[in-house]
Structure 1
Amino acid sequence: MFRKYPSKLTTRTAIWRIVPALLLFLCLAAAPSLRAYASSAAPAASASSHIDAVLLIDVSNSMKNSDKNKIANEAMKMFIDMLSTKGDKVGIVAYTDKIQREKALLQINSAQDKEDLKNFIDGLDRGPYTDIAVGMDEAVKVLQSGSDPAHEPIIVMLADGNNDFNDASGRKQSESDAELKTAVETAKQNGYPIYTIGLNADGKLNKQSLADLSSQTGGKAFSTDSADDLPQILSEIFASHLKLKVVPVQSITANGSYQEVTVNVPNASVLEANISIMSSQPVTAKLTDPSGKEVAIPSNDVLLSKSSSYSLLKLLKPSQGDWKLQIKGVAKDKIDINLVFNYDMELKIDALPSATYKKGDKVEVSSHLFSGGAQVTLSNLYEDMKAVLLATDVDTGTVQEIEMDNTGGVFKADFEIKDSHDYELKVRAEESSFYRESEPVQISAKSGSTGGTTAGGTTTGNSGAEEEKSSGLLYYIIGGIVLLAAAGVALGLWLKKAGQGFAGQIVVEVVDGNTGEKTYPQYKKLTGFKGKFTLHQLLQLAPELKESEKLVFTPASNDRLHLRAGEGITVEKSGRAADVSRGLELKSGDRVSVALQMVDKTILLEYLV
Structure 2
Amino acid sequence: MLRKHPASRTAKTIMQRIFPALLLVLLIATAPLMAVRAYAAAPTGSHIDAVLLIDVSNSMKTSDKNNIAGEAMKMFIDMLSAQGDKVGIVAYTDEVQREKALLQINSAADKQDLKDFIDGLDRGPYTDIAVGMEEAVKVLQNGSDPAHEPMIVMLADGNNDFNQATGRTQSQSDTELAAAVETAKKNGYPIYTIGLNADGKLNKQSLADLSGKTGGKAFSTDTADDLPEILSEIFASHLKLKIVPVQSITANGNYQDVTVNVPNASVLEANISIMSSQPVEAKLTDPSGKSVAIPSNDILLSQSKTYSLIKLLSPQQGDWKLQIKGVPKDKIDINLVFNYDLELKMDALPSKTYKKGDTIDIASRLYSNGTQVTLSNLYQNMKAVLLATDTDTGKTEEIPLDNTGDVFKGTFEVKDSHNYELKVRAEESSFYRESDTLTVNAKTGAAGAGATQAPAGTGTDPAEEKPASKSLYYIIGAVLLLLAAGVAFWLLRQKATRGFVGQLVIEVQDGNTGEKTYPQYKKLSAFRGKFNLHQLLQLAPELKESENLVFTPVKNDRILLRSSAEGIAVERSGRAADASSGLELKSGDRISVTLQTVDKTILMEYLV
> When the two structures are superposed, what TM-score results if normalisation uses the length of structure 1?
0.68
Equivalent in 24, 44, 55 of residue 52 of structure 2: 55
CA distance in 2, matches of 1:464, 1:258: 73
Unmatched 5+ stretches in structure 1: 1-32, 471-609
Match of residue 437 from structure 2: 440
Q: Does 1:386 align with 2:387?
A: no
Partner secondary structure for residue 231 of structure 2: helix
Equivalent in 76, 87, 90 of residue 90 of structure 1: 87
Equivalent in 333, 336, 344 of residue 336 of structure 1: 333
CA distance in 2, matches of 1:297, 1:355: 58
Aligned residues of 2:129 and 2:160 also touching (Cα < 8 A): yes
Match of residue 218 from structure 1: 215
Equivalent in 331, 352, 356 of residue 353 of structure 2: 356
Deviation at 1:230, TM superposition (A): 0.5
Question: Structure 2: which amino acid aligns with 1:433?
Answer: S
Alignment of 1:35-50 (within 5 A): 46-50=43-47
Question: Structure 1: which amino acid aligns with 2:141?
Answer: Q
Alignment of 1:243-392 (within 5 A): 243-354=240-351, 356-392=353-389
Deviation at 1:212, TM superposition (A): 1.0
Aligned residues of 2:39 and 2:347 also touching (Cα < 8 A): no
**Structure 1 pair 390–67 and aligned structure 2 pair: CA distance change class (3 A):** same
**Structure 1 pair 53–331 and aligned structure 2 pair: CA distance change class (3 A):** same
Partner secondary structure for residue 162 of structure 1: coil
CA distance in 2, matches of 1:444, 1:354: 12
Deviation at 1:448, TM superposition (A): 4.4
CA distance in 2, matches of 1:342, 1:92: 23
Match of residue 421 from structure 2: 424
Match of residue 80 from structure 1: 77
Partner secondary structure for residue 88 of structure 2: strand
Deviation at 1:336, TM superposition (A): 1.1
CA distance in 2, matches of 1:299, 1:390: 44
CA distance in 1, matches of 2:340, 2:380: 17
Aligned residues of 1:453 and 1:460 also touching (Cα < 8 A): no
Q: Provide, for residues 231-269 of structure 1, a one-character-per-residue CA deviation record: whole Å limited to 9, x for no partner.
A: 110000000111000011111111111111111111110
Match of residue 137 from structure 2: 140
Partner secondary structure for residue 351 of structure 2: coil
Match of residue 408 from structure 2: 411
Equivalent in 105, 109, 117 of residue 108 of structure 1: 105
Alignment of 1:3-22 (within 5 A): none
Question: Structure 2: which amino acid aligns with 1:102?
Answer: E
Partner secondary structure for residue 69 of structure 1: coil
Deviation at 1:125, TM superposition (A): 0.8
Deviation at 1:135, TM superposition (A): 0.3
**Structure 1 pair 448–253 and aligned structure 2 pair: CA distance change class (3 A):** closer
> When the two structures are superposed, what TM-score results if normalisation uses the length of structure 2?
0.68
**Structure 1 pair 81–284 and aligned structure 2 pair: CA distance change class (3 A):** same
Deviation at 1:294, TM superposition (A): 1.2
Aligned residues of 1:355 and 1:443 also touching (Cα < 8 A): no
Match of residue 67 from structure 1: 64
Partner secondary structure for residue 348 of structure 2: coil
CA distance in 2, matches of 1:102, 1:270: 34
Deviation at 1:360, TM superposition (A): 2.9
Deviation at 1:391, TM superposition (A): 2.0
CA distance in 2, matches of 1:241, 1:47: 14
Deviation at 1:111, TM superposition (A): 1.1
Question: Structure 1: which amino acid aligns with 2:214?
Answer: T
Equivalent in 184, 192, 195 of residue 181 of structure 2: 184
Partner secondary structure for residue 331 of structure 1: coil
Partner secondary structure for residue 250 of structure 1: strand
CA distance in 2, matches of 1:332, 1:458: 71
CA distance in 2, matches of 1:438, 1:235: 23
CA distance in 2, matches of 1:175, 1:447: 49
Aligned residues of 1:348 and 1:439 also touching (Cα < 8 A): yes
Aligned residues of 1:285 and 1:327 also touching (Cα < 8 A): yes
Aligned residues of 1:452 and 1:459 also touching (Cα < 8 A): no
Question: Structure 2: which amino acid aligns with 1:63?
Answer: M
Equivalent in 394, 397, 411 of residue 394 of structure 2: 397
Question: Structure 2: which amino acid aligns with 1:310?
Answer: Y
**Structure 1 pair 448–174 and aligned structure 2 pair: CA distance change class (3 A):** closer
Q: Provide, for residues 502-561 of structure 1, a one-character-per-residue CA deviation record: whole Å limited to 9, x for no partner.
A: xxxxxxxxxxxxxxxxxxxxxxxxxxxxxxxxxxxxxxxxxxxxxxxxxxxxxxxxxxxx
Deviation at 1:45, TM superposition (A): 5.3
**Structure 1 pair 374–202 and aligned structure 2 pair: CA distance change class (3 A):** same
Aligned residues of 1:43 and 1:440 also touching (Cα < 8 A): no
Partner secondary structure for residue 402 of structure 2: coil
Partner secondary structure for residue 75 of structure 1: helix
Partner secondary structure for residue 350 of structure 2: coil
Deviation at 1:439, TM superposition (A): 0.3
Partner secondary structure for residue 303 of structure 1: strand
**Which deviates more from structure 2 when the two are superposed, residues 200-209 or residues 41-50?**
41-50
**Structure 1 pair 78–354 and aligned structure 2 pair: CA distance change class (3 A):** same
Match of residue 562 from structure 1: none
Question: Structure 2: which amino acid aligns with 1:107?
Answer: Q
Unmatched 5+ stretches in structure 2: 1-28, 472-608
Partner secondary structure for residue 122 of structure 2: coil
**Pairwise CA RMSD of aligned residues?**
2.6
CA distance in 1, matches of 2:307, 2:403: 39
Deviation at 1:359, TM superposition (A): 3.1
Q: Provide, for residues 268-317 of structure 1, a one-character-per-residue CA deviation record: whole Å limited to 9, x for no partner.
A: 10000000111110000011111111111001111000111110000011
Match of residue 131 from structure 1: 128
Q: Provide, for residues 114-144 of structure 1, a one-character-per-residue CA deviation record: whole Å limited to 9, x for no partner.
A: 1111111111111111111100010011011
Question: Structure 2: which amino acid aligns with 1:458?
Answer: G
CA distance in 2, matches of 1:83, 1:356: 46
CA distance in 2, matches of 1:55, 1:41: 40
